[in-house]
Amino acid sequence: MRLRRDAESVFGSAPESAALPFDFIVIGAGMAGVSVADALAGSARVALLESEAHPGYHSTGRSAAVFAPNYGSPAFTALTRASAHFLLAPPERFSSTPLLHRRGALYLAHAGQAAGLIAAVEQMRDNGAAVESLSPQAARALVPALRRDYVAAAAYERDVYDIDVEALFQGFIRRGRAAGVQLFTSARLGVPRWNHGAWHVPLGQQEIAGRVVINAAGAWADQVAGLFSVRPLGLQALRRSAAVIDAPPDAAGWPVVFDFDEQFYLKPDAGRLLISPADEEPVVPCDAYAEDLTIALAVDRVQNALDIDITRVHRSWAGLRTFARDRDPVIGYERTVPGFFWCAGHGGCGIQTSPALSQLAAALAQQRPIPDTVAAEGVTALAVDPERLRGS
C-alpha cells in the first residue's frame, strides 16, 4: 500500500526565509512524526522534515494494518489499549470514514506448539483480553481451508481490527495543517549546530531553527542522532516481507490468521490474501524490498497450514520495523546533548499506538504530565526513557 501523495497541498508550502523560528523540529514524516507533530501543534510551532519526496513512504505505507491489542511488549500493549478509544471513535472531522473494521484473529498451533498456545491464552485472559480457546473443528469453521492434520489447538480473539492506515495518516496531516504544522519534503539535512539555545538545521539552500529536535526517523533514528553528535542507542532495523495472493471465494470474512510462533500470518485484503512469513531479518536502513526466497518461504508455510493452491504472487514488498534491544519504545530527552528528543523504536506497533504514543511524546517533550488516558494504562516516563539503553 502507498499513501496518497497530497500531503504537500494539505500542509501548505513552507516559507523560504533563511531561518524559521520553531519550537520543535520533527525529523521523519511517517506515522510517528506526523502524529507527534499534530499532538504538539496545538501549543507550539512545529516543523516536520521528510527526506523523501512524500510522507509515509517507508514503514507507514507498507504496514499490514492490523490493530491487535495483545501484540508487542507490555509498554506497547498498554499504549495500544490507550489508543483504542481514539481509533474506535475518532474526534469530530478527523476522518470521514471509520478507522477500524472488526476482523478478529485466529491463532493456530500444530502439535508441537499446542501447550504454548494454551498457556498464552491463559495469560491473555489474565490481562483482560477477550480470547477463547477453540477446537480444531471450530477453527476450521472460521477458516474452512485449514488442513485437518495441521491444527492441534486454536484460539480466537474478538477485538482485533483492520486499520484504515491512510485515513488515520491523513487525519493527522489535516489536523496538523489546521494547527500550523509546516512540512518540508525532500529535506536533506546538513550538519546542524547548536547556537543560542536552538538547533540550526541546514536544508539545502535554506536553514530552519528550533529549540528542540524530535528524532522520529524510524529505521534511520540512530543515523540522525549521529548528525547531532548523539551516541546511537543500538536500534535495529528488521525487514518484514509480505505478498498478495489470490484468495478462496469465502475468504473475505476470515479473521487474521497467526501462527502461534509467528512463522506466518495472513489476512484478507481487498479480495485477495496478504501473506507474510513474519520474518525479522536485521538490515542496514534502506528502501526495503522482499526477496524471492523469503516470499517463497511464506508461500510454503501458508500452504502447509491451508489447503490452497498458490500459483501466483500478485505483488510483494518489505518494510522496516525498528526495535530497541528490550523491544519497548524509546521516548524522551537525550541526557548528553541539549534539545534532542528521541521518538523511535516503535517495532511494528507504531500505527496502532499512534494516538496514545504521540500524546505521550508531546507531553514528555513539553515536560508536562503524562495524559490521564495513557497513565491509566500504567505507562511511565521511566519505562520509555532512552537513558535505560545507556546502561545507567
Same domain, 243 and 319: yes
Q: What is the mean pLDDT of the chain?
A: 92
Does 222 share its domain with 281? no
Range of the domain at 271: 105-158+236-323
Please indicate, yes or no, whether residues 341 and 213 belong to a single structural domain of this protein.
yes
Q: What is the pLDDT of residue 235?
A: 98
Return the DSSP state at 231.
P
Query: Is the domain of 42 the same as that of 13?
Result: yes
Do 230 and 275 lie in a common domain? Answer: no
Q: Which of 323, 343, 369 is the last residue of a domain?
A: 323
Q: What is the pLDDT of residue 298?
A: 97
What's residue 128's pLDDT? 82
The domain boundary residue, chosen from 323, 347, 365: 323
Cα 52 from Cα 16, distance rounded (Å):
19
pLDDT at 62: 61
Position 21 scores a pLDDT of 86
In a domain, 123, yes or no: yes
Asked whether residue 72 is domain-assigned, the answer is: no
- Are the C-beta atoms of 355 and 83 separated by less than 8 Å? yes
- Alpha carbon distance 66, 76 (integer Å): 14
Q: Is 374 within a domain?
A: yes
pLDDT at 7: 35
Q: Which residues of the chain have pLDDT under 50?
A: 1-19
Please indicate, yes or no, whether residues 242 and 153 belong to a single structural domain of this protein: yes
Each as own residue / partner, the long-range contacts of residues 386-392 (CB below 8 Å, 24 or more positions apart, any chain) are: 386/233, 386/330, 386/331, 386/332, 386/333, 386/334, 386/342, 387/332, 387/335, 388/326, 389/233, 389/234, 389/324, 389/325, 389/326, 389/330, 390/233, 390/335
Residue 336 lies in a domain: yes
pLDDT value at residue 65: 87
If asked whether residues 109 and 254 sit together in one domain, one would say yes
pLDDT of residue 20: 56
CATH number at residue 292: 3.30.9.10
Range list of H helices, 184-229: 221-227
Query: Are residue 258 and residue 313 in the same domain, yes or no?
Result: yes
Closest CA to 135 of 148, 152, 118, 122: 152
Query: Do residues 227 and 176 both lie within one domain?
Result: yes
Contact 263, 109 (CB under 8 A): no
Query: Any idea what the CATH number is for the domain that residue 213 is in?
Result: 3.50.50.60
CA nearest to 38, candidates 392, 375, 363, 359: 359
Would 87 be classed as within a structural domain?
no
- Whether 358 maps to a domain, the answer reads yes
Shared domain check, 282 and 296? yes
180 and 228 housed in the same domain: yes
Do 242 and 201 lie in one domain? The reply is no
